[in-house]
Copies of this chain bind each other. A is one copy, B any other.
Amino acid sequence: MSFIDQLQAVVSQVDGALACSIMGFDGIAVETHQVAHAGDLDLGTACVEFASILTQLKAAAEQLRAGTVSEVSINTDKVTAVMRPVSSEYFLVLALRPDGNFGKGRYALRIAAPKVRAEL
């Protein structure tokens, strides 16, 4: 299954999903599947910002002996983003409408992560 198929599979099963990406921690997207516009929000730029924050979180968690970061979610009044590292260099990010199915989104990323990891 190609990356784009895996991203489409995540987006198609989550109500309110806007986009799903495989991104490097350097902020560069490997592959993106976007289904809808998120108003005036630039999803691409948002993902780059999130990559930078996730990188800091990984470093902070390590320093704090808080273990490995398995998931980060950010809810704003315009978008919900769920991120899950898949390797030391890449992570999955799913953007949802604020009224989207957050629980299903977390589940879909958890299921997709090992499949994506296997192909990296």
Interface positions, chain A 2-16, Cβ under 8 Å from B, are none
List the B side residues contacting A103 at CB < 8 Å: 103
Q: Report A67-81 CB contacts with B as 1/0, cut-off 8 Å.
A: 111111111111100
Which residues of B have CB within 8 Å of A64?
41-42, 45-46, 49
A interface residue count range (under 10 / 10 to 19 / 20 to 34 / 35 or more)? 20 to 34
The answer for the CA separation of A120 and B62 in the assembled complex, in Å, is: 33
**Which of A21-29, A53-61, A111-119 touches B?**
A53-61
| Chain B: minimal CB distance from A49 (Å) | 4
A72-B73, A75-B72 as given contacts; A66 in contact with B53, CB under 8 Å: no
B residues near A75, Cβ cutoff 8 Å? 69-72
> Chain A interface mostly helix, strand, loop or mixed?
mixed
A49-B64, A56-B53 known; A77 and B72 CB under 8 Å? no
Offer 17 A-B interface pairs, CB within 8 angstroms, sorted by A.
Answer: A41-B66, A42-B65, A53-B57, A53-B60, A57-B74, A66-B78, A66-B79, A67-B76, A67-B77, A67-B79, A68-B76, A69-B74, A69-B75, A69-B76, A71-B74, A71-B75, A103-B103
